[in-house]
A and B are shown apart, each in its own frame.
Chain A
Amino acid sequence: MSNVLEIRWHGRGGQGAKTAALLLADVAFNTGKYVQGFPEYGPERMGAPITAYNRISDTHIRVHSNIYDPQYVVVVDETLLEAVDVTNGLRKDGAIIINSAKSPEELRPLLKGYEGKVYTIDARKISVAALGKYFPNSPMLAAIVKVTGIMDDESFLNEMEGSYKHKFASKPEVIEGNMKALRMSLQEVK
């Protein structure tokens, strides 16, 4: 269905790509959309490549298959560029967002001739600066929201603050760090 926004996430087990996909579904849900957020389960283990998906639509979503021709691809771990065909089926009028310290120009040669837009975000730098630890999913979430424009920065930050307060009710000390990571990422995605 052409009016459905389709996003595919590539990560490694333990990095939170599934959680990020579910958070994106939450954010879109809170803007009044119909959403799907689901992981593809394999023989999961820490570090193995995993895939997760989002569909976002103004109308009820009936299809229950994986996504093969996404508008957007998010790569949470740069080393997957060599292990997985991340641009497979990615639409030319879409974009890929990669967690990397490198520039889009430096990474494009690894993308098997992909002609669409390439964005990068240094989620490691942001996460370490904001949280003191490497949790890439908050910066990657902010990056995909920025690139797709599914909501403006301010509404997104408000939504996420509410969401984190709920999610981290038992450890409120990490909320501010995650919020900082989101704000930095919204500024730095390029």
Chain B
Amino acid sequence: MAIRERLSGNEAVAIAMRQINPDVMAAFPITPSTEIPQYFSTFVANGQVDTEFVPVESEHSAMSACVGSEAAGARTLTATSSCGLALMWEELYIAASCRLPIALACVNRALSGPININCDHSDSMGARDSGWIQIYSENNQEAYDNFVQAFRIAEHKDVRLPIMICQDGFITSHAVENISLLEDDVVKNFVGEYNPEEYLLNQDHSMAVGPYDIPAYYMEHKKQQAVAMENAKQVILDIAAEFEKISGRKYGLFETYKLDDAECALVIINSAAGTAKDAVDKLRAEGKKVGLLKIRVFRPFPAEEIAEALKNVKAIAVMDRCEGFSSQGGPLGAEVKSALYTAGATSKVVDYVYGIGGRDVRVENIEEVYNALFDILETGNVGETYRYLSLRD
């Protein structure tokens, strides 16, 4: 029986963690981290989990402790946000290259500076090349559901990579909304026990983790890591299919909304996708053929599938809640355009930087984007391909 609740995104993820009952959580317990370790430490104090909670003095140490604990053979997770993730940078790469299936709850917030605590995707987008699987969530429900699936994906023998489950800072992390929770034993059975084949505390099979890698083998090890990331795509789909059986909720690599016959479409990530769906319905009621594609899995990037889903769309706006300073748009724009080019697509594509530093995104703002796409179709002129949405004059 599903449990009807109302929770903030932070509470929802903390409950998923309680239900998973990991061996270790290492986390920095104050800002810039989130309320997630705070809620989770309550579960530890109340004896609701058997987790060893390691409060560390920095996020650099948080990820270092996660690396050590996961290498020892313990199922390990953490949570962070913004500059906290930035301070983990060095160890993110180590976790991925050591093939340690750590799970991280990332609450997406701006990086300094100027100093800003609000939502955008600069933190996790900056970590996109670190070798972590990245899955994004529109609302508290998706953040919870994605976290429940996280370890099954990360620990899979064809993958063995760390995973980051992202949701929008404040907009979903601090908003209380309805949610449907799974029962504790259902999650426990779904996630299962962690039995790593290789681990440091295995006295029958000693091993080294993270030694120096010489040029003669470094590339081969990186290639193995890249293959693992490619393998993750199918594993993510398989785990989603299993998850649907216990939850009734369907997940893929991305979600399409009214895209089948759409002439104009958005590609968008996280909470603004919900706002954009309301805009789609409004414009559809006016007879305009619009739709959207919401990214769920950003790493590995489902390039071929996205190009296929967008193949009949004439004009596309890729929405980047992050500035990439490439002078061409943000990271999502670059990925989507690369996918479309490789597939030989001829759609008109523009990239919008929007909502950074917490700039509010309204239904009207999204309508403005669709209307700009129809202008491109009417005039045949793409104009500026690198745009800012809702920028003050």
Chain A residues near B (Cβ < 8 Å): 1, 22, 25-26, 29, 34-39, 41, 60-66, 68
Contacts and interface: CB of A to CB of B under 8 A. Distances in A.
A83 B360 CA distance: 22
A177 to B, nearest CB: 25
Interface in B159-202: 168, 170-172, 174-178
A94 B178 CA distance: 25
A29 B175 contact: no
23 contacts: A1-B278, A29-B178, A35-B6, A36-B177, A38-B175, A41-B358, A60-B178, A61-B177, A62-B274, A62-B277, A62-B278, A63-B275, A63-B278, A63-B363, A64-B139, A64-B168, A64-B171, A64-B274, A64-B275, A65-B275, A65-B362, A65-B363, A68-B362
B117 interface: yes
Contacts of B118: 41
| CB-based closest 9 A-B pairs | A38-B175, A62-B274, A64-B271, A29-B6, A37-B176, A65-B362, A63-B275, A25-B176, A63-B278
A62 B138 CA distance: 9
B174 A39 contact: yes
B361 interface: yes
A38 B173 CA distance: 10
Contacts of B6: 25-26, 29, 35
A22 B274 contact: no
A36 B275 CA distance: 14
Given A25-B176, A26-B6, A38 B278 contact: no
B176 A38 contact: yes
A22 B176 contact: yes
Given A29-B178, A62-B275, 9 more contacts: A25-B6, A25-B176, A35-B6, A38-B174, A38-B175, A61-B177, A63-B275, A64-B175, A68-B362
Contacts of B278: 1, 62-63
Nearest to A21: B176
Contacts of A29: 6, 178
B272 A64 contact: yes
B177 A35 contact: yes
Nearest to B5: A29
Contacts of B362: 65-66, 68
Nearest to A60: B178
Nearest to A65: B362
A185 B278 CA distance: 37
Contacts of A37: 175-176
A64 B176 CA distance: 12
B178 A34 contact: yes
Contacts of A62: 274-275, 277-278
Contacts of A64: 139, 168, 171-172, 175, 271-272, 274-275, 361
Contacts of B176: 22, 25-26, 35-38
Nearest to B365: A65
A18 to B, nearest CB: 9
B170 A38 contact: yes
Interface in B128-166: 139
Contacts of A22: 176
A41 B168 CA distance: 14
A45 to B, nearest CB: 13
A63 B274 contact: yes
A129 B361 CA distance: 43
B257 to A, nearest CB: 10
A62 B274 CA distance: 5
Contacts of A26: 6, 176
Contacts of B171: 38, 64
A41 B177 contact: no
Nearest to A32: B4
A61 B275 CA distance: 9
B350 to A, nearest CB: 22
